[in-house]
Structure 1
C-alpha cells in the first residue's frame, strides 16, 4: 500500500498544480469586477497631507522555559567513559613548544594536528579573543523600513505551534578555528584562502560575538535560532575514548542558555559539512574531491566514521537535550556523500542517534535530517518522459533517505540503478530505520526544470563518465515558454514561489511526515558591489521571502500540508565556502569592524509572520 501511495503522490501533486494553460491578452483582474463610472476632474487647494507611520520591531518576550529531557546529571551514565580537559590556542609562529609529548591527547599532540594541516596564511586572526558582552539594540535601529506598495494578499494565519526562525552554520560564521581546543576540519583543507582572502579563517567571529548576535535576533523578534556545533570543538581528537573539550561544552552551554534567557528557542545541527580532518588520517590526499555522488567527499564511508559520529552525537545530546527541542543529525548529507557506503553510514548513524534520543534519553523533542533538493519539475508536465525524469531527479535526492527512514521501504530505483556499490538494506535494517525521523527537513531554495537526456536515464546511470551523472537528467532554468522560471539571484537561486507549494505537496504526500523548511534564502544579484544603503534595501530578497511564506500558508490551508516551520538562511552575510560575495544574509556584516546591520528583508519577513499569528503567540 505504501508503495502505491508513494508512486502516485508525485503525479497527483504535479497534475494538480503545475499545468500550462494557454491564454491570450492581458492578465485578468478578478478582484475588480465592479464597473467604474467616468472620472471627474477638479482643482483644490494643495497641501502635503500624506502621513507616515513609524513602526518599531517587537522584541521577543522571555517566558517560562520548557525542558525536553532530563539534565545531563541524570543522563551521564549513558556515556560513562567521558573525561574532560582543555587545550590552548594554536599560533603558527610561536617559539614555545608544549612539553607533554608523552601524552597522546596532550597539548603537544593537539598542536601537531594544526602543524600537519599546514594552513597557508594563517597569520590573520580576528578582532576578538574572548566572549563579547552584549549591548542592547537601540530603538532607532529597530524602525521598520517604508512598506512596499504591493504586498501579499493572503488572509491566512500561521498555526499556533508554527516555528519561525533563522539559521547559520559554525564553519560559515564562527571563526576562531584554532582557538580553545578546536582541531582542523575538511573545511579548512578544502577551501584554503589565498593571500588576499586570509580572513576566510575568521568569517563573522560569531564564536566570540554570539551573545551580541543572539541579542540582535531577539530584539527584532526572532523566536528560533538554528545553529551547528563543530564535532572538533567537542572532541578535538574525534574518536571514542578521547577526552572531551570542556571549553567547547561550556561555550555551547552558555550559548544555549543565553538563547533561552532572551526568550528564544535553540535547535542544533550535529554536522554541517565540517567533517574532522582526522577521519581521513590527517591526510587530505585521502579525500575524494571528485566524489561519486556529491560535490565533496565528507568521509562518511571511512572506517570508524559511524561509531565516532554516534559517540559525538551522544555526548552533545546528553549535555543539551534538556533545553534543545529540535535536533538535526546531518545537514544535506547527499552533497558530501562519496559512494553507496556513505549513504549507508548516514542513515544508520542517524537512526542510532534517533533511537538513543527517544529510547534512552527519553527526549520529548524532535530528531531529523536536513535534505538538499532544488525541486525538480517536469519541463513539460503533459509529457510522461519529462514527468518521469522529474520523479527520478527527486527520488535520487530525497527518496534515497526518505524511503528507509520515513517509510521503512527500500531505496528507490533511481539510487540503486545509479550507484553500483550501494549497500543493500535487509528487512531487519528497514525495521530499525522505519520511522526514525520526526519530520522531513528540506532546504528548498529554488526549483529546477528537468527533462530526460537524449540517450535516456538508464544509459546515463550505467556510465559514471556521463557528464550528467549521477542525477542523469537535463537541468535548466527555462520552461517550454523559454522564460526563466523566476528572477535570478547571485548564484543558482531563482525566485520560484509557486513551485514551492508543489514541492511541499510532493514531500507531504510522498513521505507522509510533517515538513520543516530548515533553510531557504536568496543572494541578491551583485549585492556585494552596492553601496551599504542599497544592500540594506534588499527588495528582491523581501520579494523572495514573502512570496515563499505566502505559498507556505496556502500549502497549509488549501493543500492540507503539515508544515512545522521555516528557518531563513542566513541570519547574516557569511562565508559561503570561499566566497563572501554571494550574500544570503538578512543582516550585513562589515568585514573590517564586524558590525551588523538589519536589512529590509529581515524586517519584512518578521513582520509578515507576526501579522499572521493566530490568537495565541504561536511560540
Structure 2
C-alpha cells in the first residue's frame, strides 16, 4: 500500500510554509492498548545484571523410527527395470595428471575417467585441501552456543508457523563440497567458471569430508530440515545412461542421509544446482551468448532429457525411501541458455514426477525452484508499467509454471521473443500438466520495472548483442517512483525488501496455485569478508533480513491465505559464490585456512524467531 502525502499550510509570522503529513497518519501501534499514564519517578537500589543467555547442551536420543516415503533399494531397483553397474575410479591429484592406467580399451575405465579431467584442463588446480577421508564428528560445546546480544527492535507479531511448515537451511554441492576430482567425481561446468587468478576455489568448504561435523552444528542449533544437492557428475562421472554408477558416491550420500536422520533432521535433495556435467558442453562454446538466462548449462543438449531422467531415477532408486522432498532443478532459467533448454527442463521434470508418483508410488513431494527478482511496476497506477512487470515475471516463471502447474501453454511473450520457440502440443500439455507438488522460489529481492523509452516490441525482435534489455525488454531499476532505493542494499543485487516478499508470495500462490516453497533466501553484507571475525559474527543486517522476511511470510500465511510450505535459509555457512568468497551469504563464518566454522548472530536470531513461533517443534 502506498502512503500518500498532503500539504497543510502552517502560519509562521508573515510566511506560510508547507508541512507534509501522511494521509494515513503516523505509524500505528496496534499492540499498545493502554492509555498513557503519568510516570512515577523514584530512587531504588541499583545492581548490574547478566544480559547474556547461555544454552546448555543436553543429550538427545536418536529417533527410534524412520518415515518411509518410497520403496527401499531392493524393491526400487527391481522396479527400475534397468541393470546398473557400479565401480570406483579413485582420485586425480594435482601435478599428477598423466594417464597411468592401462585399461585404455575400456570406455568407462580408469584411463577414460582420468582423460575426462585432462580434457577439462583446469586452471591452477594445485591443492586438494586439508582432508582426504571423512572426519569423525564431535558434539558442539556449549561455549559456542551462547546467544548474542539482541538487536533492540524486533518483530512484534503474534503468529505461529503451521505444523507442517518446513524450516531449514540450504547449500549446494559445488559451493561447499570440494573434493572435485576425488573419489570418482567427474568434471562439471562449475570448474570451468573459476577464474585463472583464483587457484584455491576448487576446495570450497571441504564439506565432502566434514559433513558430519557440519550436520552436528546444524542439529545443535535445532535446525530440522537440511537442503543440499547431489552432484550428477559424482554419481555418474560419464553422465549418460548405461555408464557405471560411482559406488563411492552412493555410499557417501547414503551415509550423509542416514546421519541427517540419526541427528533428528530431515534431508531435502536437489538433483542439479548449476553443476552440469561437462559432457554437455565439451563440444560447444561455454561462453556463447545466451538467448535467455546467464550461462550455458547444456540443458539444450539433445541427450540432456534422457540422461537427466536416468540420473534422477538412480537417485530415487537409492534414496527415495528416506528423502521426503525432492527438487529436480535449481533456478533452471539461469542456465537454460535458449528456448530448447527451457523446453527440455519442463519435459525432464515432468517425466521424473510421473516416475516418482505413478511408478514408485512415492508419498513425498517432487517440485522445482526458480529464480526471479520479483518485478514490481514502478508506478502501479500506470497500466503500461503493470504490463511490463507482468511480462518480466511471466518470462522468468511462466515458462515452467504455466505447463507444470496449470497445464497451460508457454507464455506468449516467450513464444514471440525467443528464437525457435515452439508451443507444446495438446498431448505434451496433458502429460506435463500438474506435475509438481510445490512451486519453489528463491526470492532474494525485488526489481522495479517500467517500459523502456524505445518500447517493448522493437526490443523483442532483437538479441542480446544488439540490445542489452533483451529478452525481457523492460527497464529494471532499484529505485521507486519517488527516487528511494527499494530497501537496504548489500554489496550486490540484494536489497532487504520484506514487504515485496509478501506481495510476491501472494502473486505466486494466486497465479500458479501450488504451495510455495522458499528454497533459498539470504543476504550478503557489504564487505563482510574484509572485517575482523567479531564484526563478521555480529551481522545485524542479515538478522534484519531473515526476521523481516519470515515475519512477512507469516503475514502472507495468516492474513492473505497463502500456502507457504516452508523456507530454507541460504546459506548455512559462507561458501564459494561462483568465483570467489568475497560475497558472503552464510549464517556461519568459515576460516579458509583451518576450515573452522563459527556461528553468526543471525543464525541464533533466526532460530529463536522460528522456535518462539512453533517452527522447530515438529519433524515430519
Give the Cα–Cα distance (whole angstroms) in 2 for the partners of residues 490 and 57 of structure 1.
36
Query: Structure 1 304/615 Cα, relative in aligned 2: closer, same or farther at 3 Å?
Result: closer
1:374-398 superposed Cα distances (whole Å, 9 cap, x missing partner): 1011111111111111111100011
Q: Does 1:552 align with 2:535?
A: no
Task: Give the CA deviation at 1:61.
Answer: 6.3
**Distance across 1 between alignment mates of 2:537 and 2:301:** 44
**Whose helix proportion is higher, 1 or 2?**
1
Decide whether the 8 Å contact of 1:556 with 1:562 is kept in 2. Answer: yes
**CA distance in 2 between partners of 1:425 and 1:615 (Å):** 43
Shift of 1:480: 1.1
1:90-109 matched pairs, under 5 angstroms: 90-94=92-96, 97-109=100-112
Cα displacement string for residues 489-510 of structure 1 (whole angstroms, at most 9, x for unaligned residues): 1211000000000000000000
- 8 A contact 2:377–2:448 mirrored in 1: yes
Structure 1 residue 51 displacement after superposition: 4.3
Change (3 A) 1:96 1:449: closer
Task: Output aligned runs, 1:48-447, within 5 Å.
Answer: 48-52=47-51, 54-56=53-55, 62-63=62-63, 64-77=65-78, 78-94=80-96, 97-194=100-197, 197-280=198-281, 282-283=282-283, 285-447=284-446
Where 1:472 maps in the other structure, the secondary structure is coil
Whether the 8 Å contact between 2:449 and 2:476 is mirrored in structure 1 is yes
Structure 1 pair 112/509, CA: closer, same or farther in 2 (3 Å)?
A: same
**Bigger shift: residues 77-86 or 470-479:** 77-86
Moved more, 586-595 or 336-345: 336-345
Cα pair 2:611 2:617 within 8 Å, conserved: no
Separation in structure 1 between the aligned mates of residue 5 and residue 321 of structure 2, nearest angstrom:
56
Give unpaired runs (5+ residues) of structure 1: 1-17
Q: Deviations over 1:514-554 (max 9, x none)?
A: 00000000001110111100100000000000000000000
In the alignment, what sits opposite 2:594? 593
Secondary structure of the 1:199 match is coil
Q: Deviations over 1:280-336 (max 9, x none)?
A: 2x34x4324321101001111112111111111111111100000111111100000
Q: How far off is 1:150 after superposition?
A: 1.1
Contact 1:57 1:603 in 2 (8 A): no
Q: Distance in 1 between matches of 2:435 and 2:99?
A: 49
Q: Distance in 1 between matches of 2:330 and 2:41?
A: 62
Deviation (angstroms), 1:96: 7.0
Superposed, 1:496-575 pairs within 5 Å as 496-575=497-576
SS in 2 for 1:575: coil
Give the match for residue 2 of structure 2: 19
Task: Note if contact 1:191-1:578 (Cα within 8 Å) is conserved in structure 2.
Answer: yes
1:193–1:200 CA contact under 8 A, matched in 2: no
CA spacing shift, 1:217–1:343, aligned 2, 3 Å: same
The structure in which a higher percent of residues are strand is: 2
**Separation in 1, partners of 2:441, 2:395:** 14
The structure with higher relative contact order (CA 8 Å, sep 6+) is: 1
Take 2:219 and 2:423, find their aligned partners in 1: how far apart are those partners?
47
Whole-angstrom distance in 1 between the partners of 2:57 and 2:451: 50
Q: Aligned partners of 1:57 and 1:439: how far apart in 2?
A: 37
State TM-score, norm by structure 1. Answer: 0.94
Cα separation, 2, equivalents of 1:347 and 1:322: 25
The equivalent residue for 1:12 is: none
Verify: 1:463 aligned to 2:462, yes or no: yes
| Long gaps (5+) in structure 2 | 7-19
The alignment of Structure 1 onto Structure 2 pairs a total of residues equal to 597
Q: Is the 8 A contact 1:288 1:338 kept in 2?
A: no
> Could you say what the CA RMSD is over the residues aligned between the two structures, in angstroms?
1.7
